[in-house]
Copies of this chain bind each other. A is one copy, B any other.
Amino acid sequence: MNDPVITPNTDKRALILDGAERVFVARGFAAARVEDIAEEAGVAKGTIYLYFASKQEVFVSLIEVRAQELVLSLQNQLFEIQSAALVLKSLVRIKVEFYLKHLGLIDQAFQWAPQLEQELQARLIVSRSSIAEASTHHLSKFIPAAFPVSMLVVTGVIDGAVNGIVLNAIEAQEVIDAEKIAEDVVFLLLPGMLQR
């Protein structure tokens, strides 16, 4: 009942990943210095190597954690929604919110893959797949059996649309409203998806 010592976020791993995310997002993987990550996380440079084998491993671990969070988000919020429109809208809203919160981290992550060691690349792919599956799972329930466009293309369009819209909006320095974007995407895509 009483917990005299508040351990504020004492999980060092999470602490380091939080710092790392800020640096990776601001500079990209290649330009992010381990020293920056340490400073941002409030630990010494050496400490990072107690929890992670390398800078690459920090990066991949971060992606894994964030991907897991997104997957949980999708599972929790898309569960039990009954209409195609609402699933699509919620899916887009969640992705936009996630994109804004993590500033495109995941979506950009895969550009760095070629520079990572084989094993770490594999871990990235697993994360990517788990996200794709979570998105596809709820969506596929509403796609007609004989739909002439493959699910791979459908999810590609949706994911890409989110990225494209947000990137354009950031470029144009517009205020980003996840709800509004979700409505726009439903407006544009739903008619096509319900055809036949």
Contacts and interface: CB of A to CB of B under 8 A. Distances in A.
Interface residues of A, number: 50
30 contacts: A28-B30, A30-B115, A31-B115, A111-B111, A128-B171, A132-B168, A152-B165, A152-B174, A153-B169, A153-B181, A153-B184, A155-B164, A156-B166, A156-B167, A156-B168, A156-B169, A157-B165, A157-B188, A159-B164, A160-B161, A160-B162, A160-B163, A160-B167, A161-B164, A163-B163, A187-B195, A188-B192, A189-B189, A191-B191, A192-B192
Interface string A60-88: 00000000000000000000000000000
A82 to B, nearest CB: 22
B164 A156 contact: yes
Contacts of A191: 191-192, 195
A16 to B, nearest CB: 21
B165 A156 contact: yes
Interface of A is mostly: helix
Interface string A166-196: 1111011010000001001101111111010
In the complex, the count of this chain's copies comes to: 4
Nearest to A165: B156
A120 interface: no
B114 A149 contact: no
A149 to B, nearest CB: 5
A102 interface: no
A54 to B, nearest CB: 15
Contacts of A187: 148-149, 192, 195
A177 B25 CA distance: 33
Given A128-B171, A192-B187, A160 B153 contact: no
Interface in A97-130: 108, 110-112, 114-115, 125, 128
